[in-house]
Chains A and B, each alone.
Chain A
Amino acid sequence: MDGLEKEGLFVFRNLDDTRALLDRAAPGKRAVVIGGGLLGLEAARGLQVQGCDVTVVHLMDTLMERQLDLTGGSYLKAKMECLGVKVLLERSTTAILGNGKAEGVAFKDGSSIAADFVVIAAGIRPNVELGRKAGLEVNRGIIVNDYMETSNPDVFAVGECVEHNGTCYGLVAPLFEQGKVLAATITGNRGPLYRGTIQAAKLKIMGVDVFSAGNFSEKAPGTDAVRYEDPALGTYKKLTVRDGKLAGVILVGDTSESHRYMDWLRSQTDLTAMRRQLLFPGPADDAGLDVAAMADSKVVCGCNGVTKGAIIHAVHEKGISTLAQLRDSTRASTGCGSCTEVCQQLLKAVAPEFQEEAKKSLCKCIPFPEDKLREILRSQRLRSVQEVLEIYGNGVGCEICKPALSYMLDMLWCGDHDEDRSARFINDRVHANIQKDGTFSVVPRIRGGVTSAKELRRIADVAEKYNVPMVKITGSQRIDLLGVKKADLPQIWADLGMPSGQAYTKGVRMVKTCVGTDFCRFGVQDSTKAGVELERRLENLYTPHKLKMGAVGCPRNCAEATVKDIGLVGQEGSWQVVVGGAAGKKVRKADLLITVESTEEALQAATLFFQYYRENANYLERTYDFVERKGIENVRRDTVYAPLAIQQGLRERLRKSKRISRDAWLEGDAPRHPTQFVQIESLEKVQG
């Protein structure tokens, strides 16, 4: 290949390469990735997620030809193209074009394509230089025997640089197996022996499930191929069976059974009796059976070398009941994630109170559970709803995912993102609550329900001036002006001179208070002041669902704080902070989060829970469902009893959001769009 000295040419091998690539990648840049194997495809997708226009160039007639047959390759190609990565097959690259810097790639057939930079992800060769200098026997890799000894018995080698029995391995799993053998050898044992590894590969691109293991060629005598494919679903499965045993497997689009097939491959299970159920094993009688049959010494997490025995030990010793705890404790399932399913099954089988985390996707448009989506948005630094939908969804979205994604972006980036109003419900476009006749309602903020004669007079004036059809005291100690025309909103807000009460949105509604100690004979805590302060600290922020709070000055609970999302319940000398209460669709008494002495501590605990809810609840999940799902014990552990650094993290992120948040009604003076509140009149009138 010519032109390899040019600037703008990258390889993709180590962390520095990746950093250099990330520096170069930018929206709109044209990237050409040479090599359509695992590495090339993963690099291509990584660049495309950064906004690059990516083309993968591959020498062979199918992508990942070492792992896939022609059909499997075509399914994979369709998936990559569906994500927006272009694929050129059977192109032999002859030169990197450009004057000093890479500007394109030329092919043997005379054609060429333009590029802003080029990534070479092909032709990985074992790094054998050291072995050669040391005088070891070297073929393609450094030759080793079954004890991992090189030609010099005092020198050992493992990993990608070695050649064992004619094979060089380019993946991590063989290294782990070699490492175990080497450990035995250098501690003076002769055995176990390394007998080679069944090659298995999984493509690590979210949403493109590809798994391949063993030998998928159908040509060997006595080999049958068992196939299933569904182009509409993008699913392709093929097993090669030789002498009644599994020889190889290809899975595209659905890799959920990869562990079962890997087991069959490794154990060389006789499949004769299972011939009818090879591709559709159906629901197992007992999900625990597979994992029960697994030996304790079997490695479940290959990345971190965690055995089944270690997992069971941790479950019993440390009372683990969730996957998250298992990850913290053993590091199992924290690497590539491919053993997550097995870890879940193990937990189900041995942890008495294992709760499977609900994994419901948000909607059909974007098939990821919400926690995964938040992780994607954060890690991929996605900052607009449309961008997320185009990269990870169907490009269109719906009335469920668009507002949900809008919320997530706001929560994660605190205003440092593209707030696309078209993705939001009408209420959030005009900051008022749409009514059945298309008019709107206006609820100004009256913190803690405390108002003044002056404010009430202004509200009354506005009601008269704009002929507001109904003025109503709400159940939240506020005043609602109902039946307002959209075009009147900005002027009404200006005349009111009060901030938005956010009564139209999934956000901080209010803090209902009782009269506390100022006038009440029974009050033991100043709930009015505490409530006003709590409202002031959290107002103008958005939440996964509406959030209503209450503060009461004694256990008589006159402002019903124990059925609010967050409640402060005053007692002699202390406050109870309660969360997850409800008096709506559902009635639920709030759980006690913590009891503290000072008002400031109570406010701190409440705001800690607030931010925790913002970051971890699913969209449209009220605190009462959230707290029930998480369990109050876990909520306490993750908030008020969390390590200081975690608490500080929550506080810092809340502070950041709060700093950027502003009263939405200020938009009345400076609309986002010239016709945001305007009723458009036709330019041309028609004679009637």
Chain B
Amino acid sequence: MNNKQWIRVTAMQNIPLREGRSVNVAGREIAIFNLGDRVLAIDGRCPHKGGPLAEGIVTGSTVVCPLHAWKISLETGSISKPNENPACVATYRTRIESGIVLIEVPEASQEMEERSLSCGEQNRACLGDSPSPVL
């Protein structure tokens, strides 16, 4: 059930400071952000209208969706604006190895199962996977 794997994604230098880039990993569109002291990864699309989160302005550890300015925590995937929003975005653990960003994703066979989880459960799942600092 909890089989996950670390995937080597891209060179750290491909993501400019305080910007995001979108990358396809195992069939998922994931947005990766360079916060200077760490790299964070979340699902690439905004739960509101599917805005590309990698293109958003980063403020602290939050990204602002470029379409309608929803604010999404890169640490927890929760949404701080609009207020009291139950929607959320999945987060992924990350680490850096010799300048390469690695992201932990579920194995392909897990995917269908996880995708069917309700948002609340998924959020709890991603809260548990707190992002790791840059090594």
Q: Which residues of A contact B (CB under 8 A)?
A: 396-399, 402-403, 420-426, 429, 434, 436-438, 673-675, 679-684, 686-688
Whether A674 touches B69, Cβ cut-off 8 Å, given contacts A682-B9, A682-B24, A686-B26, is: no
* Distance in angstroms between the alpha carbons of A423 and B58 in the assembled complex: 8
Question: Can you list 22 A-B pairs, Cβ within 8 angstroms, ordered by A?
Answer: A399-B56, A399-B64, A403-B57, A420-B18, A422-B17, A422-B58, A426-B66, A429-B19, A434-B55, A436-B67, A675-B14, A675-B16, A675-B21, A680-B23, A682-B7, A682-B8, A686-B5, A686-B7, A687-B108, A688-B26, A688-B27, A688-B108
- Contact at A683–B8, with CB atoms within 8 Å? yes
Residues of A within 8 Å of B9, CB to CB, are 680, 682-684
Nearest chain B residue, comparing its CB with the CB of A675: B14
- Contact at A438–B52, with CB atoms within 8 Å? yes
A316 to chain B, nearest CB (A): 49
Whether A434 touches B60, Cβ cut-off 8 Å, given contacts A675-B21, A682-B23, is: no
* Distance in angstroms between the alpha carbons of A686 and B103 in the assembled complex: 12
Q: Which of B97-134 contact A (CB under 8 A)?
A: 100, 105, 107-108
Interface of B is mostly: mixed
* Distance in angstroms between the alpha carbons of A683 and B23 in the assembled complex: 10
Nearest chain B residue, comparing its CB with the CB of A420: B18
Nearest chain B residue, comparing its CB with the CB of A398: B59
Residues of A within 8 Å of B105, CB to CB, are 686
Q: Does B51 belong to the interface (CB within 8 Å)?
A: yes
B33 to chain A, nearest CB (A): 10
Residues of A within 8 Å of B108, CB to CB, are 686-688
Residues of B within 8 Å of A674, CB to CB, are 13-14
- Contact at A426–B55, with CB atoms within 8 Å? yes
* Distance in angstroms between the alpha carbons of A688 and B58 in the assembled complex: 32
* Distance in angstroms between the alpha carbons of A681 and B60 in the assembled complex: 26
- Contact at B59–A397, with CB atoms within 8 Å? yes
Q: Which of B24, B58, B64, B100 contacts A681 (CB 8 A)?
A: B24
B54 to chain A, nearest CB (A): 9
5 additional A-B residue pairs with CB within 8 Å, beyond A426-B57, A682-B25, A686-B105: A396-B60, A398-B57, A424-B57, A437-B50, A675-B14
What are the 7 A-B residue pairs with the smallest beta carbon separation, nearest first? A422-B18, A686-B26, A396-B60, A426-B55, A438-B52, A399-B64, A684-B8
Residues of B within 8 Å of A397, CB to CB, are 59
* Distance in angstroms between the alpha carbons of A426 and B7 in the assembled complex: 27
Residues of A within 8 Å of B8, CB to CB, are 682-684
Residues of A within 8 Å of B22, CB to CB, are 679-680
* Distance in angstroms between the alpha carbons of A422 and B64 in the assembled complex: 12
B126 to chain A, nearest CB (A): 19
* Distance in angstroms between the alpha carbons of A683 and B55 in the assembled complex: 21
A677 to chain B, nearest CB (A): 11
Interface size class of B (residues with CB under 8 A): 35 or more
Residues of A within 8 Å of B24, CB to CB, are 681-682
* Distance in angstroms between the alpha carbons of A684 and B7 in the assembled complex: 6
- Contact at A434–B50, with CB atoms within 8 Å? no
* Distance in angstroms between the alpha carbons of A294 and B127 in the assembled complex: 62
* Distance in angstroms between the alpha carbons of A397 and B71 in the assembled complex: 13
Residues of B within 8 Å of A682, CB to CB, are 7-10, 23-25
Whether A436 touches B49, Cβ cut-off 8 Å, given contacts A396-B60, A682-B7, is: yes
* Distance in angstroms between the alpha carbons of A683 and B102 in the assembled complex: 10
Q: Does B15 belong to the interface (CB within 8 Å)?
A: yes
Whether A673 touches B16, Cβ cut-off 8 Å, given contacts A425-B66, A434-B66, A436-B49, is: yes
* Distance in angstroms between the alpha carbons of A684 and B23 in the assembled complex: 11
Q: Which residues of B contact A (CB under 8 A)?
A: 5, 7-10, 13-19, 21-27, 49-52, 55-60, 64, 66-67, 69, 100, 105, 107-108
Nearest chain A residue, comparing its CB with the CB of B20: A422
B59 to chain A, nearest CB (A): 5
Residues of B within 8 Å of A426, CB to CB, are 55-57, 66
Residues of B within 8 Å of A421, CB to CB, are 16, 19
Whether A686 touches B25, Cβ cut-off 8 Å, given contacts A398-B59, A422-B57, A426-B55, is: yes
* Distance in angstroms between the alpha carbons of A9 and B22 in the assembled complex: 53
- Contact at B21–A680, with CB atoms within 8 Å? yes
Residues of A within 8 Å of B13, CB to CB, are 674
A386 to chain B, nearest CB (A): 8
- Contact at B5–A683, with CB atoms within 8 Å? no
Nearest chain B residue, comparing its CB with the CB of A672: B16
- Contact at B15–A398, with CB atoms within 8 Å? no
A434 to chain B, nearest CB (A): 5
B45 to chain A, nearest CB (A): 8
* Distance in angstroms between the alpha carbons of A683 and B60 in the assembled complex: 28
A465 to chain B, nearest CB (A): 24
Q: Which of B10, B55, B64 contacts A398 (CB 8 A)?
A: B64
Nearest chain B residue, comparing its CB with the CB of A435: B67
A407 to chain B, nearest CB (A): 14
* Distance in angstroms between the alpha carbons of A452 and B95 in the assembled complex: 54
* Distance in angstroms between the alpha carbons of A399 and B25 in the assembled complex: 28
Whether A399 touches B57, Cβ cut-off 8 Å, given contacts A422-B16, A682-B9, A686-B7, is: yes
Nearest chain A residue, comparing its CB with the CB of B17: A422
* Distance in angstroms between the alpha carbons of A235 and B17 in the assembled complex: 36
* Distance in angstroms between the alpha carbons of A426 and B27 in the assembled complex: 24
* Distance in angstroms between the alpha carbons of A673 and B108 in the assembled complex: 33
Looking at B16, B25, B51, B107, the one whose CB has the most chain A CB atoms below 10 A away is B16
A432 to chain B, nearest CB (A): 11
Residues of B within 8 Å of A684, CB to CB, are 7-9
A683 to chain B, nearest CB (A): 5
Nearest chain B residue, comparing its CB with the CB of A438: B52
Residues of B within 8 Å of A396, CB to CB, are 59-60
* Distance in angstroms between the alpha carbons of A420 and B18 in the assembled complex: 10
- Contact at A423–B21, with CB atoms within 8 Å? no
Whether A683 touches B19, Cβ cut-off 8 Å, given contacts A422-B58, A434-B66, A438-B51, is: no
* Distance in angstroms between the alpha carbons of A429 and B58 in the assembled complex: 13
* Distance in angstroms between the alpha carbons of A218 and B106 in the assembled complex: 68
- Contact at B59–A402, with CB atoms within 8 Å? yes
* Distance in angstroms between the alpha carbons of A422 and B66 in the assembled complex: 13
* Distance in angstroms between the alpha carbons of A639 and B55 in the assembled complex: 39
Nearest chain A residue, comparing its CB with the CB of B45: A438
* Distance in angstroms between the alpha carbons of A425 and B59 in the assembled complex: 12
Whether A434 touches B23, Cβ cut-off 8 Å, given contacts A398-B59, A399-B57, A426-B55, is: no
A184 to chain B, nearest CB (A): 60
A109 to chain B, nearest CB (A): 35
A421 to chain B, nearest CB (A): 7
* Distance in angstroms between the alpha carbons of A684 and B17 in the assembled complex: 23
A177 to chain B, nearest CB (A): 50
Residues of A within 8 Å of B16, CB to CB, are 421-422, 673, 675
B75 to chain A, nearest CB (A): 14
- Contact at A438–B55, with CB atoms within 8 Å? yes
Nearest chain A residue, comparing its CB with the CB of B14: A675
- Contact at A434–B19, with CB atoms within 8 Å? no
Residues of A within 8 Å of B17, CB to CB, are 422
